[in-house]
Amino acid sequence: MLIEAGIQRRKNAIFVLLSVMLSIFCILKVIRGSSIENTTAGGIWNYISLLYYPIALILFFTRDKIKIDLIFTSAFFYVLVALFSTFLNWGYRVDVSSIYNLLMIPYPILVMSVFYISSKKSEWCERIILVGYIVCLILNLRSVLSYNFTNAEEMMKSDIYFSLGLFPFALQLLKRKYFKVLIVLLQFAAVFLADKRTGLIAFIIGLILYILISSFCDNKGSFLKTVKSLIIATVAVLLFYKVGKYVDDTYNLDIFSRLMRLSDDGGSGRADIYSNVWQGFKNSDFIEKMFGHGMNTAGSIGGAGKAHNDFLQIIYDYGVFAVVFVTVFYISLVVRAFKMIKCKSPYAAAFTFSVVIGLFLAMFSYFVVYFTYVTCIMAFWGYTLSMEKQRVMERRRDE
């Protein structure tokens, strides 16, 4: 009994630490990216990312191990294949940078795992994460407003994905309806003004699904409530469009024009990048197709540093086996979302929103192949899967 109590106290303390780490990591990254003229190559966030390794080691010795399901299993085998491919094609000199890049391959699944093992109902941790989210959102808003409406210097627009990645926590944890609506409006404004088309489309689709699923789960599938939610979702999209169009036209932001040019500009050149990477894969020999060319090699052939598509990046870098496992991972998340919706889980709506964001980033930007904003959504997935498991166990005990 004393041993169990000690393990629980350790896990509680680790969850508090993880909540603080997540918030500080995101805030520091957003501050760092507020100007692309900042030449700092690394920072405290690098040390924070490495802290997940000793934490995982500590949690490994607790008795509450990860349930072996397809989500964690597919992620685990993806990491194994990616590491094998990296060693097979090792061409880096052994220095701090190359070792760090190697450690970042298992990083996403590590974040998800430690949050899964340690998460529990905790007002303190929830407040810490919410404060971190709100600070990130304010910093993002400050940057996009300065960039669009003043003569501010260029900003790192992709840093909007830190607040967007933490946004599912706000959807799940905020209880006051009007405060949640305010946060939704502010998050939309930040994504819209950042002019990130992937984020904007993902946000709108995710929000529509969130409204519909929330109605289905909260109101026991009532037909009238579902119709009401459909109307609310439609009105919300029209409102976003009207307000966004007015701001865009008034201040000549060119955001809607860029949306309309999506098919013409090939997604800011992504079509050419995809073609180059895919052609490079097709021209590879059998071993290279199966096990890839090594870490971060797709970016060089694509001509943009990254392939801007997780699946293409992975199939070129790590090979067919790796992309199969990562595809199974994403499919497993979608299946889990459907299961949560079917049983009317209170976590279903926010979880579905997060899966939409993750899939869009994986398909049109980069996600598990880079250690930045993947941290936010992986933390949320670990947290949600853990809370859902605890909810199901409590319900079974009550029965």
pLDDT tens digits, 260-306: 565 555 555 678 888 888 898 999 889 999 999 888 888 777 555 67
Kindly state the greatest CA–CA separation across the chain: 66
Q: Which of 139, 113, 172, 107 is nearest to 26 (CA)?
A: 139
Q: Which of 155, 95, 97 is nearest to 296 (CA)?
A: 97
Task: Quote the pLDDT of residue 2.
Answer: 47
Amino acid type, 190: A
Burial of 223 per CB tally in 10 Å (0-12, 13-18, 19+): exposed
DSSP string of 319-374?
-HHHHHHHHHHHHHHHHHHHHHHHTT-TTHHHHHHHHHHHHHHHHHS-STTSSSTH
Task: Quote the pLDDT of residue 131.
Answer: 96
Contact (CB, 8 A) for 156 and 34: yes
Task: Quote the pLDDT of residue 36.
Answer: 46
Task: Quote the pLDDT of residue 333.
Answer: 96
DSSP string of 278-328?
HHHHHTS-HHHHHH-S-TT-HHHHHTSSS-SSHHHHHHHHT-HHHHHHHHH
| Spans of the chain below 70 pLDDT | 1-8, 33-42, 62-68, 91-93, 151-155, 219-226, 229, 240-241, 244-269, 302-305, 399
Question: Rounded CA gap, 19 and 199, in Å?
Answer: 24
Count of Cβ atoms closer than 10 Å to residue 13 Cβ: 12
Question: Rounded CA gap, 324 and 304, in Å?
Answer: 24
The pLDDT tens digits for 243-260 are: 766 666 665 666 666 655
The pLDDT tens digits for 90-103 are: 765 677 778 888 88
Burial of 25 per CB tally in 10 Å (0-12, 13-18, 19+): buried
Contact (CB, 8 A) for 174 and 183: yes
User: What's the domain count of the chain?
Assistant: 1
What is the residue range of 144's domain?
2-398
Q: Where would I find the beta strands (DSSP E) of 195-265?
A: none
Question: Rounded CA gap, 219 and 334, in Å?
Answer: 22
Is the four-CA dihedral 361, 364, 365, 368 of positive or negative sign? positive
Task: Quote the pLDDT of residue 364.
Answer: 86
Contact (CB, 8 A) for 276 and 295: no
